[in-house]
Chain A
Amino acid sequence: MELKDSKEKQKTYETLFDKPYQKDIQLLPFFELLVEMSNEGLLKGLGGKLKGLKIAPYYGCMLARPPKMNKQKNHYGLIEKTMASLGGEPVQWPFLSTCCGTFLSVSRPEISTKLVNRIMQGAIKSGAECIVTACAMCHLNLEIRCRPENQLPVFHFSELLSLALEGNGSKGWFKRHLINPQSLMEKRHLIPFVQG
């Protein structure tokens, strides 16, 4: 955003990366790509494979931004929109944008544990069957710092997208989850779970 408007910043870019600045290249966050796709109607009627799956959408602090960007468009609601177009049912819950503790999970795990379990309990109370996040760091923190009694499967939303879209291309992938989503996936007839 700033790079586009500032000649000075473009110069810094050129000296840092030793490449000319190309003003036609536009950086598009993954999220915005999905907005575009949804605007063009590409996310509609995808078969409803996630039918009835109750989802707690979790953005964490990913969409929070400095006041300078207050007037930019915001993307809250996109996980809900995408998941609903695949047949999922997003729930309303209070922790959708509460930070998971990021790196404090390493250096002050007790703080992160407290936050993560608060978030997980909130999701369970809201009646969700799983949490869908858009951030890999949140995904990891929710899985590793969650106490056994609060465990709820966590998916990155691209995982559910691929599940709903491509059928069995993700075989063997879901066993890499630290919170095993197998029973939920079987219950919802989502994918044959490959053991091994």
Chain B
Amino acid sequence: MDKIVINETSGEFSKQVEKLSHANLSRCLHCLACSGGCPFAEDMEYLPNTIIRMIQFGLKEKVLKSSTIWLCVGCNTCSMECPNAVDMAAIMDSLRQMAISEHSLIAEPGILSFHNAVVDSIFRHGRTHKLEIMMKYKFSQKDLFSDMDLGLKMLAKKKLDLPPPTA
């Protein structure tokens, strides 16, 4: 892996993360169990345990701008692997919250727009309306045609409802 240059220090960063996530960062042994178990690790910019180390060094901007925090789906595999009970998924969750609230650059805007489309739909209908979510997401990405065949197949198999759900 490339070297990570420490060119910023935000002394409060690790405290902020611990407060938001209720996880104890100093319990991390850097044994790499979380990174080894993570199904998404190979597509991440930094490995999950690297993120913990970076937080400890105060590399706030680098962490919040990284793709890692958005590629984490919160599947909790890391939390199951960790021999020292560090809640990695909660840490990633709080980093996403911070990235949004501090208007940091979002490395994976597509993933965030999808989350927003889901949340909007729940606010509107009380539960999700899949077709609406997909249409909204596709418009936000200006990408209407990928997976079009799949969408039509799912409509034909009655896997997507046309009208919004009634609560």
Contacts and interface: CB of A to CB of B under 8 A. Distances in A.
DSSP class of B's interface residues: helix, strand, loop or mixed?
A: helix
Interface stretch (B11-19, B47-55, B57-65, B153-161): B153-161
A53 interface: no
A6 to B, nearest CB: 14
Given A107-B111, A178-B153, A67 B85 contact: yes
A108 B75 contact: no
B98 interface: no
A107 B108 contact: yes
Contacts of B153: 178
A134 to B, nearest CB: 15
A19 B153 CA distance: 42
DSSP class of A's interface residues: helix, strand, loop or mixed?
A: loop
B114 A106 contact: yes
B121 interface: no
Contacts of B111: 103-104, 107-108
Interface residues of A, number: 27
Given A109-B147, A111-B40, A111-B43, A67 B75 contact: no
A100 to B, nearest CB: 9
B76 A65 contact: yes
A101 interface: yes
A65 B75 contact: no
Contacts of A109: 146-147
A67 B86 contact: yes
Interface of B: 39-40, 43, 71, 73, 75-77, 79-80, 82, 85-87, 89-90, 108, 110-111, 113-115, 118, 134, 137, 146-147, 150, 153-154, 157-159
Interface of A: 60-61, 64-68, 70, 97-99, 101-104, 106-109, 111, 115, 140, 144, 175-178
